[in-house]
Structure 1
Amino acid sequence: MLSRVKGIWMVLAATVLWGLSGTAAQFLFQQTVIQVDDLVFIRLFVSGILLLLLARWREGSGSIWRVWRDRFSNYRLIIFGLLGMLAVQYTFFVAIAEGDAATATLLQFLGPLFITIYVALRALRWPTGYELLAVGIALCGVALLVTNGRFTELAVSKETVLWGLASALALAFYTLYPIPLLRKWSSTMVVGWGMMIGAVGLAIVRPPWQIFNIDWNMTLLGFVFFVVIFGTLVPFYMYMESLRYIQPSETSILSSAEPLAAAISAVVWLNVSFGFFQAIGGVCIMLTVIIISKAKRKIAQDQKIGGSL
């Protein structure tokens, strides 16, 4: 029982830190000179190095290089780093820069819904009642979130909506694509290399040495440090460790704390305007994760019963 409570608190702390890091990023984009490209590169590069060092410490000095000697894994890792890790980070932060952390986080939270739709299509089966319910609630939630109940006009910018939905799609790819890699290698190693590859890919487009031209001060350094360490490394480690004590279906439900933390911190700290119907829309989007979790549990139970007959 104590282990389960520990796991619950760990995943809650991780998701709250992720939510707060989005608000911290919004502050950086609005109040400092740092750009999206700069923050994404720093986050990927520094977090990638730290995760690989952690993997080296936990698995041995030569462990982190074995993945590159595996012909099956190395090309998948490159695709994951560029189309998964870099894409999900970049689209999410652009959505924040174009709008606010609360809206961007809630739109990205549609990722599990896209995963559910993809899995149903790939399995050539009709969606379950729970899945159809999740789709309907999600569509209503998005409509309320982006219009605040006034369906003739948007309450947020079109760019925010497009980048937010792009981040949800990227999150779905980021979640599904590395599954074969995670069966062979540790999550720390896969995510660490994914971040490093994403950083290199971004560096080709935007030379990383431009970050040295930024007028750094203690406030800027402090918030960047928070986004990199307490918004990336610490919550990732806590989230993965929580899976030792509770079920993945429980972590997906508890992850609803992330958009909630982002919304509350953005409203209270940065005075982001969040209308009544937008709040209802946000609740609807968070409910979809709970419904999808129930749908997965029911499908698993049905398969188990069918296999035992």
Structure 2
Amino acid sequence: MSGPNRSTGFFLVITGATLWGVGGTVAQKLFQNDSIDVNWLVSTRLVLAGLLLLVVQFFIKDRSQILGVWKNRRAAIQLIIFGLFGMLAVQYTYMASIKHGNAAVATLLQYLAPVIIIIYLVLRRQTSLTRRDLITVTLALIGCFFLLTNGSFSKLSVPTAAIVWGVLSGVSLAFYTLYAVPLLKQYDSLVIVGWAMFIGGIALSFIHPPWQVTITNLSMETIIYLIFVIFFGTMIAFWFYIESLQSLLPKETSLLGSLEPLAAVLTTVIWLKEPFGVFQWLGTACIIGMIFLLAFKEKGSPKPNQEVA
């Protein structure tokens, strides 16, 4: 792993992680300033991004897998469960947290997923609790306390609804990460995630179909932001991340993936001018520090999955 390929890999993962973080902030602007419905955005985002990923698979990778996954009954059932309770749950809870709070807090709370995975595996006795795990959990708890309270014991600095949805997003991402393992061992990631996005989007379409929107009522600025969230913040971000694994070590992509919450925080504070207190910055540093620590965990240890921000 050297030379131009590594340079390309670094470009892909840095770009992908940054697009994820910025995409969350753009979604926040759509919710707050343009009154875009969460159900509509999530269903539209998932259906279109899922289809685009399957198109990429068709032209660039093994196209036989696109329909092949449905010929395996066990894999097909797992894929449906993954699409509904993994992909849809992660996307919806994340966007709902952004709507009720902001992209910075939502993204950072989602990064509780690796801590939840550690606790789950310890309780299931599938792994033992190490000193590194204790440090990771402690950083996460301290980080969340400062992030959500800004150092005050008497009141929250973030709406309760945003916290609830954010924590549920972390739980959903933990399920997403663990449940996807057997599927990703059998099929290309673009096939699994592409179909999962499409399944989740179609399911939510029964509540708010993507076609139930009047384009003429949307400003050109709003349409550009929607294209960014769906195309760049979802489809391109995931594709670039996956492609970076071809030339970089998983540890390197995981580490550089920490640019996602950093990008979300910076764009939320600078672009949307959301207030962020000193202790909230300290909490952010703790959570990003936790991500760095996880990125350097020993091979085979649970790592955060950064494919769906």
TM range, smaller chain = over 0.9
From 246, 251, 254, the counterpart of 2:253: 251
Aligned partner of 2:234 in structure 1 is 232
Larger C-alpha radius of gyration, 1 or 2?
1
* TM-score, length of structure 1 as denominator length: 0.92
SS of residue matched to 2:211: helix
Counterpart residue number, 2:281:
279
Aligned counterparts, 1:1-309, within 5 A: 1-2=2-3, 3-59=5-61, 62-212=64-214, 215-297=217-299
Shift of 1:270: 0.7
> Which structure 2 residue ranges, 5 or more long, are not aligned?
303-309
Alpha-carbon distance in structure 2 between the residues aligned to 1:298 and 1:83: 25
Distance 1:70 1:201 in 2: 21
Q: In the aligned structure 2, how far is the partner of 1:5 from the partner of 1:259?
A: 23
Structure 2 CA distance for aligned equivalents of residues 125 and 181 of structure 1: 22
Structure with more of its chain in helix, by fraction? 1
C-alpha deviation, 1:72, in angstroms: 1.4
Report the aligned-residue RMSD: 1.8
Tell me if structure 1 keeps the 8 A contact 2:110–2:170: yes
Instruction: Return the alpha-carbon distance in structure 2 between the equivalents of residues 274 and 108 of structure 1.
Output: 18
CA contact (8 A) 1:146 1:278 kept: yes
Do the aligned partners of 2:65 and 2:187 also contact (CA within 8 Å) in 1? no
Looking at structure 1, the residues matched to 189 and 62 of structure 2 have their Cα atoms a distance apart, in angstroms, of: 15
Distance 1:259-1:107 versus aligned 2 partners, 3 A rule: same
Judge conservation of contact 1:130–1:294 (CA < 8 Å) in 2. no
**Contact 2:12–2:241, Cα closer than 8 Å, also in 1:** yes
Distance in 2 (CA, whole Å) between partners of 1:153 and 1:93 is 24
The aligned amino acid for 2:75 is: S
Instruction: Give 1:252 shift.
Output: 1.5
Q: Aligned partners of 1:96 and 1:60: how far apart in 2?
A: 36
1:26–1:299 Cα change, 3 Å? closer
Tell me how many residue pairs correspond in the alignment: 300
Q: Report if aligned partners of 1:131, 1:291 keep a CA contact under 8 Å in 2.
A: no
CA contact (8 A) 2:39 2:207 kept: no
Matches of 1:101 and 1:36, distance apart in 2 = 14
* Conservation of the 8 A alpha-carbon contact between 1:27 and 1:270: yes
Q: Which one is further off, 199-208 or 174-183?
A: 199-208
Inter-partner Cα distance in structure 2 for 1:66 and 1:180: 16
Which region of structure 1 is more displaced relative to structure 2, 198-207 or 167-176?
198-207
**Distance in structure 1 (CA, Å) of the matches to 2:59 and 2:209:** 31
Match of 1:304 in 2: none
d(CA) in 1 for partners of 2:200, 2:152 = 39
Shift of 1:213: 7.3
Partners of 1:190 and 1:265 in 2: how far apart? Answer: 31
Q: Which moved more, 1:285-294 or 1:28-37?
A: 285-294
The unaligned stretches of length 5 or more in structure 1 are: 301-309
In structure 2, relative to structure 1, the CA distance for the partners of 1:151 and 1:222 (3 Å cut) is: same
Shift of 1:8: 2.3
CA–CA distance in 2 between the matches of 1:61 and 1:162?
40
Native 8 Å contact 1:34 1:214 kept in 2: no
